[in-house]
Structure 1
Amino acid sequence: MSTSSPCLRDDTRSVGLLFAAANAACLRCIDGRRSVTGTACGDFVVAAMAHSWRVLLQGITSLVFLCAHADEYVRPPPSPLVLVPHDKPAAHPQQVHISIVGTNHMRISWVTDDRSAPSVVHYGTSRSNYTSSATGSHTTYRYFLYKSGAIHHATIGPLSPGTVYYYRCGDAGDEFTLRTPPSSLPIELVVIGDLGQTEWTASTLSHIAAADHDMLLLPGDLSYADTWQPLWDSFGRLVQPTASSRPWMVTEGNHEIETLPIVEFAPFVAYNARWRMPYEESGSASNLYYSFDVAGGEVHVVMLGSYVGFEEGSEQYVWLEKDLLARVDRRRTPWVVVLLHAPWYNTNQAHQGEGEKMRVAMERLLYEARVDVVFSGHVHAYERFTRIYDNEADSRGPMYITIGDGGNREGLASKFIKDHKSAHLSVFREASFGHGRLRIVNETSAVWTWHRNDDEHATVRDEVWLESLASPKPAMVTVVRRGDEL
């Protein structure tokens, strides 16, 4: 149990928020892609001053945190953005990421500044020895004065499961390596939400890369571009080392909407162009919700859209009902995992009740399909609930986990409501940055661990064993390790 005073926590959080706001303003001046003063000399002076202010503010923020007791864990403030530049030729592929398509294909996605660059991928099982190739297509989009580079998508396969492939995009640039998911259990799924592109994001990504995994699942809020489109490019370059080697399966959050009043840009334009998921293969009519199988069909993953129609009778509702109750045979698929952005159960002050309408509309479908676990983001903290149905503990209901703590620039949601109506269902909660891992061991057992970012280390703070709900008997939950709540 932390003994740091509430006043110290509030003060450090306030300093962090002030730094985040000032840092964002300074970065806009430093960026250099658009003039601030109208003259090159003036822009140089402003950029130099902005850099000096960043250094000064970072020092002040660090000093505040050093004043805390050394033996206490002090939650970190928002950290500076990590902007990743692109200094390669225009035809050089960047922002490379991969996603699965069907049972034995993989979609390779990348961007080139050269809009005439070919949408081709060469690949093989030996380094620099490409025995196969696939040609796809590319798209672009405009947002005010911004015009994207060519966003390429090409599907390669058929591929062998659990196999390392070497590939090269667009007849130019670097060679990348990917490993396809296994054809059977066990399988390890990394789960992160509300990622962003700060120094804490970089820390989370380094912790993920330090231990092996088969696939990454992200329940919304990727780049936090929030209409500033170059941030999408920077985000793609930041996550490329991880996203180019293991499949990233994502669904949208509120920060992907990017509509503006009066101008009325269509929502999700950048997200849909850049992060194309295999929605057609699952019978979905929208990139904003879909499903897929892994581990030879032993695990079914459903990605829902919190910001597209979900009411009974809506396209998403009808699709979900068919997907869960007609397509999934629990005798062959012992594990069903669901991801969405706005949590249905939440005792944090942040975003209270924002997922309630969706819960009322869809919770019955998940319960009747015996969904094992539901992951959400949106709230910038970690919280694990027991198995629930309709606001009551139920051994046949899903376990609900909020994991919106990937490293976003807005900071952590540190205030939980002690007398919340769902407090008795909340098993563990902590406002810290981190990531989670779901290792599905076999058809009956899985282990979930949540790893807090402690500087260079990823510390396991919560660990629990799950039993599949495919079994006719009530599921068991065994807590292996649980740290003190902070």
Structure 2
Amino acid sequence: FTPQQIHICYGKIPTDVIIMWATVAKGPKMSVQYSFNTKINDFNIVVADQEELKINNEKGVKFLYRAYLKGLKPATVYYYKIISKQNGVSSDLLQFNVPSTGFDHFQSYMVLADMGPYTHNLQNIVHEAKNNEYTSVFHIGDIAYDLHTGKGSTGDKFLNNIQLMTAKLPYLVSPGDHEAKYDFTHYRYRFSMPTLSWPMKTEELYYSFDIGPTHFISLNTEMLFHVFKKDDQLAWLEKDLIAVNKRSKRPWIIVMGHRALYSSCDNRKDCLLETPIIKTSLEELFFKYGVDIYFGGHYHNYERSWPVYKDKVVAQHYKNPKAPVYITIGTLGQEYLPEPIRRPGGQWSAKTENKECFGVLEIFNSTHLHWKVLAAANNAKIDQIWVIQT
């Protein structure tokens, strides 16, 4: 009954927090006990929902739990334990931060993709996240290589390996091609993302939420290859972008999706056949509604574009850009498939890198955004830009 694979995420709004975990055996009801001081008391208890993950999970931990904490105070540290009073089970005392909702409060986000239990520098990344004041972590698809591999045991191993990070920081995921098998079942059951029901529905694996001046959108780019399934997501995306009303509500619009729109990768069919489908589906909407940055993975390299629209460079700077910036941050997948960039794919390509790395998105206020890329081995700075809106 001991809780494992603990990870947290935002609920419908960032002042709601979802806590998830798994147990080997099915037992009596389990709960989360929480407080904003270290003296956990019985007045703050949420009973968890429970589901059983059966499909291709013969060797995996089957019993999954989800507790939804509502109405938390912004900019506050909370302490929590996962407990079962009936059998005396209790996790260690853990903690998380509820983000500030203010527009001028600094926020910092770790951004990565294509990461699994055999990523070379996995524990360096986990400890970097745990020991620093990140607001949350975005993992943009290809999670664990794969959640269902080894009949579920690989997903268990990975989620336990990153628990030091994910029990403290909201872990926001987007589905990639490696999550699609078995109708996304392991992804839909193992995670619960903002605004979505749980287990998540196959046809609704996309979501958005706001923190301070930033509107975040996560897409299921795998659905864009299905003619009869992509229309609902694209209609939702346009409606969501219209509702942002960028100038008066959210100055920054950040979109995440596993598949890249721009890539200099040239050594597999994805580059020639699949990337154009993603670009045709999304680029016009991003340009029309003022998306600032699109983050993707899939290709196991790093690449940053200039502001670009339909392969034409709009500017070779990032002050008041008139088109989106496209960033691929998939280098952590090199252990599984090396994909070095041999040459830039066009004038739109501003920076490439083949070392394992992760990104840090820093929102300073409504006018200044900083992006930096750090080597996974030693945190050495590889790339950085300022995006400025005046």
Q: Normalising by the residue count of structure 1, what TM-score does the alignment of the two structures yield? A: 0.71
Query: How has the CA–CA distance of structure 1 residues 403 and 177 changed in structure 2, closer, same or farther, with 3 Å as cutoff?
Result: same
Q: Is the 8 A contact 2:30 2:47 kept in 1?
A: yes
Could you tell me how far 1:461 is from its partner in structure 2?
A: 1.1
SS class of match (1:331): coil
CA distance in 2, matches of 1:235, 1:128: 31
Alignment-derived partner of residue 207 in structure 1: 128
CA distance in 2, matches of 1:390, 1:279: 32
Q: Summarize deviations over 1:220-256 as a string: whole Å, max 9, x none.
A: 1111125321011111101110011011111011111
Query: How has the CA–CA distance of structure 1 residues 439 and 325 changed in structure 2, closer, same or farther, with 3 Å as cutoff?
Result: same
- The answer to whether 1:139 aligns with 2:51 is yes
Could you tell me how far 1:188 is from its partner in structure 2?
A: 0.7
Could you tell me how far 1:364 is from its partner in structure 2?
A: 1.1
- The answer to whether 1:317 aligns with 2:227 is no
SS class of match (2:121): helix
The one-letter code sitting in structure 2 at the alignment partner of 1:345 is Y
SS class of match (1:123): strand
CA distance in 1, matches of 2:7, 2:190: 10
Could you tell me how far 1:179 is from its partner in structure 2?
A: 0.9
Q: Is the 8 A contact 2:224 2:277 kept in 1?
A: no
Q: Normalising by the residue count of structure 2, what TM-score does the alignment of the two structures yield? A: 0.88
Query: How has the CA–CA distance of structure 1 residues 117 and 385 changed in structure 2, closer, same or farther, with 3 Å as cutoff?
Result: farther
Residue in structure 2 matching 1:308, options 206, 220, 223: 223
Higher helix share: 1
**Cα RMSD between the aligned structures?**
2.2
Alignment-derived partner of residue 271 in structure 1: 187
Alignment-derived partner of residue 177 in structure 1: 95
Query: How has the CA–CA distance of structure 1 residues 107 and 287 changed in structure 2, closer, same or farther, with 3 Å as cutoff?
Result: farther
Alignment-derived partner of residue 2 in structure 2: 92
Residue in structure 2 matching 1:166, options 74, 79, 83: 79
Alignment-derived partner of residue 80 in structure 1: none
SS class of match (2:222): coil
Q: Summarize deviations over 1:184-226 as a string: whole Å, max 9, x none.
A: 2321111011111124222222333343211111111111125
Q: Is the 8 A contact 1:325 1:369 kept in 2?
A: yes
Q: Is the 8 A contact 1:278 1:287 kept in 2?
A: no
SS class of match (1:406): helix
- The answer to whether 1:415 aligns with 2:341 is yes
What aligned pairs does 1:17-96 form with structure 2 within 5 A after superposition? Answer: 91-96=1-6
The one-letter code sitting in structure 2 at the alignment partner of 1:227 is T
The one-letter code sitting in structure 1 at the alignment partner of 2:7 is H
Higher radius of gyration, 1 or 2: 1
- The answer to whether 1:156 aligns with 2:77 is no
Could you tell me how far 1:412 is from its partner in structure 2?
A: 3.2
- The answer to whether 1:237 aligns with 2:155 is no
Q: Summarize deviations over 1:41-100 as a string: whole Å, max 9, x none.
A: xxxxxxxxxxxxxxxxxxxxxxxxxxxxxxxxxxxxxxxxxxxxxxxxxx1111000001
Residue in structure 2 matching 1:288, options 196, 201, 205: 205
The one-letter code sitting in structure 2 at the alignment partner of 1:97 is H
Could you tell me how far 1:327 is from its partner in structure 2?
A: 4.3
Could you tell me how far 1:116 is from its partner in structure 2?
A: 2.1
Q: Is the 8 A contact 1:279 1:285 kept in 2?
A: no
SS class of match (1:316): helix
What aligned pairs does 1:469-480 form with structure 2 within 5 A after superposition? Answer: none
Q: Is the 8 A contact 2:307 2:324 kept in 1?
A: yes
Could you tell me how far 1:167 is from its partner in structure 2?
A: 0.6
CA distance in 1, matches of 2:244, 2:141: 25
Q: Is the 8 A contact 1:216 1:248 kept in 2?
A: yes
Alignment-derived partner of residue 112 in structure 1: 23
Q: Summarize deviations over 1:296-348 as a string: whole Å, max 9, x none.
A: xx211000111114769711011101111134443120010000111110002
Alignment-derived partner of residue 102 in structure 1: 12
Query: How has the CA–CA distance of structure 1 residues 120 and 426 changed in structure 2, closer, same or farther, with 3 Å as cutoff?
Result: same
Q: Is the 8 A contact 2:78 2:97 kept in 1?
A: yes
Q: Is the 8 A contact 1:407 1:434 kept in 2?
A: no
SS class of match (1:223): coil
Query: How has the CA–CA distance of structure 1 residues 348 and 193 changed in structure 2, closer, same or farther, with 3 Å as cutoff?
Result: same
How many pairs were matched up?
A: 364
The one-letter code sitting in structure 1 at the alignment partner of 2:74 is P
Alignment-derived partner of residue 323 in structure 2: 397
Q: List runs of 5+ in structure 1 lacking aligned partners.
A: 1-90, 259-265, 472-486
Query: How has the CA–CA distance of structure 1 residues 329 and 466 changed in structure 2, closer, same or farther, with 3 Å as cutoff?
Result: closer
Residue identity (%): 26
Q: Is the 8 A contact 1:449 1:463 kept in 2?
A: yes
Q: Summarize deviations over 1:408-455 as a string: whole Å, max 9, x none.
A: 53143113234x3x2x1111101011111111111011110000134x
Q: List runs of 5+ in structure 2 lacking aligned partners.
A: 85-89, 315-320
